[in-house]
Structure 1
Amino acid sequence: MNFRVVAAVLFALSLPACACAQSPDLAAIARSSGTPDIPGLKMVWLAPWGDLAKAHPWRNIIVHQTEGPAGSARGGALAQSKDPTRRGVMVWVETDGTVYWAVGEHLVPTHGDGANRNDNKYIDNGPTYRQVVGSNSVGVEFAGNYPDVTRGPTDAQVAAWRILVKVLRARYGIPIDRVYAHNWIDFKDARYCEGCALAKMAREWEE
């Protein structure tokens, strides 16, 4: 009987250590190469990670939302993969939370409108005006706000973004205050604030 009690106590004491050992080390994963499994993300690797030392020097993250319907992220990512420098982004997120890594991280897709916003409407545009542009920013495109452009991201997209933004920041050493909505840095469609809810979430999660 005493042996059983001792065994039960030892087992209970071992549980926290086991739980800690199983916690994903996103920082370590973010420094890897190839097509790693990232806990919590359904990743479709159209372009694998390479040698991090040879990646383009990314300094910012810009959150975009496309007016494509649900299911359009896959098509956009495939087109981007075939023509990496076309207008588009490196990472696409479907309404079901699937993340498509479309372009090699040493290549620079065309996105953003030149950081033309200088009215300080959403953030201080002093540090962003003509400075936070596609050539120095990882673009992340969230699909699915058609036909209502004011529709927010899905719960699955938000859950994926919570992990994805941590991975991107860890891989490229991007501070949280360098995560921007497209509308924060560019004059965009007046009907809605593109990427604003997602960029705001990312900054609030860090607080």
Structure 2
Amino acid sequence: MNVRLTAMALCVGLGAAPAAAQTPDLAAIARASGTPDIPGLKMVWLAPWGEVSKAHPWKNIIVHQTEGPAGSARGGAQAQSKNPTRRGVTVWVETDGTVYWAVAEHLVPTHGDGANRNDNKYIDNRPTFRQVIGHNSIGVEFAGNYPDVARGPTAAQIEAWRILIKVLRARYGIPLDRVYAHNWIDHKDARYCEGCALATLAREWGE
């Protein structure tokens, strides 16, 4: 009897282990509506998701970095939420990794400078010149590179980006090679390469 009970306990334990070890299905979560919990992300929803079929047809992701102090993402996101089409982006990421979804996904904020880079300095600009623009690209802004614009993203921002990029790509069906740093497609501040480290990480992480 004791042997049988022990065997049953082992079977239950072994059966429970894979369920506990399962990773979250980000692809399924990414197709949700409303304000879903996304494992690994601290999300602040200023604008909930609607039906993904009614979202703007985003084709690219542009990574930005704002020359603002730590803590500025919240204010930027709130201002964006009140005036969605102002110069700015849809998603803001604070230095502590908090992600603010600021704008309803069917609206298009003003960002990007018209894809004016055509010098192949960072990437092949033939498919981007005058083509990867704000109207077809969802923008993500990382705060906190003030007063040193060359300061890279924080460890918390990188970990948030690791998950966020998967969610964005899964939700909108965006290929990996359509993730761009702002500096890759536009002539920007010569003091640093805006968004380059984060866009490079996204491509290195792969699928």
| TM-score where L is the length of structure 2 | 0.96
What's the secondary structure of 1:81's corresponding residue?
Answer: helix
Q: For residues 43 and 19 of structure 2, what CA distance do their matches in structure 1 show?
A: 26
1:10-49 alignment, distance < 5 Å:
10-20=11-21, 22-49=22-49
Aligned to 1:74: 74
Residues 42-75 of structure 1 show CA distances to partners (whole Å, capped at 9, x for unaligned) of 0000000011111100000000000100000000
Structure 2 counterparts to residues 99-178 of structure 1, below 5 A: 99-178=99-178
Residue aligning to 1:198: 198
Per-residue CA shift, 1:169-192, capped at 9, x if unaligned?
000000000000000000000000
Residue 12 of structure 1 deviates from its aligned partner by 4.1
- Could you give the per-residue CA deviations for residues 10-59 of structure 1, whole angstroms, max 9, x where no partner exists? 13421443235x42111111111000000000000000001111110000
Where does structure 1 lack aligned partners over 5 or more consecutive residues? none
Q: Is residue 2:50 matched to residue 1:50?
A: yes
Task: State how far apart, in whole Å, the 2-side matches of 1:113 and 1:101 are.
Answer: 22
Q: Deviations over 1:102-151 (max 9, x none)?
A: 00000000000000000001000000000000000000000000000010
Partners of 1:184 and 1:15 in 2: how far apart?
47
Match of 1:87, as an amino acid? R
- The share of aligned pairs that are identical, in percent, is 80
How far residue 4 of structure 1 moved from its aligned partner, in angstroms, is 4.7
Matched, 1:9 2:27: no
Provide the rounded CA distance (Å) in 2 between the counterparts of 1:163 and 1:73.
18
Q: TM-score if structure 1 supplies the norm length? A: 0.96
AA aligned opposite 1:98: T
Task: Give RMSD over aligned pairs.
Answer: 1.2
- Partner amino acid, structure 1, of 2:50: G
Q: CA deviation at 1:9?
A: 3.0
Which stretches in structure 2 are left out of the alignment for 5+ residues?
none
Partner of 1:65: 65
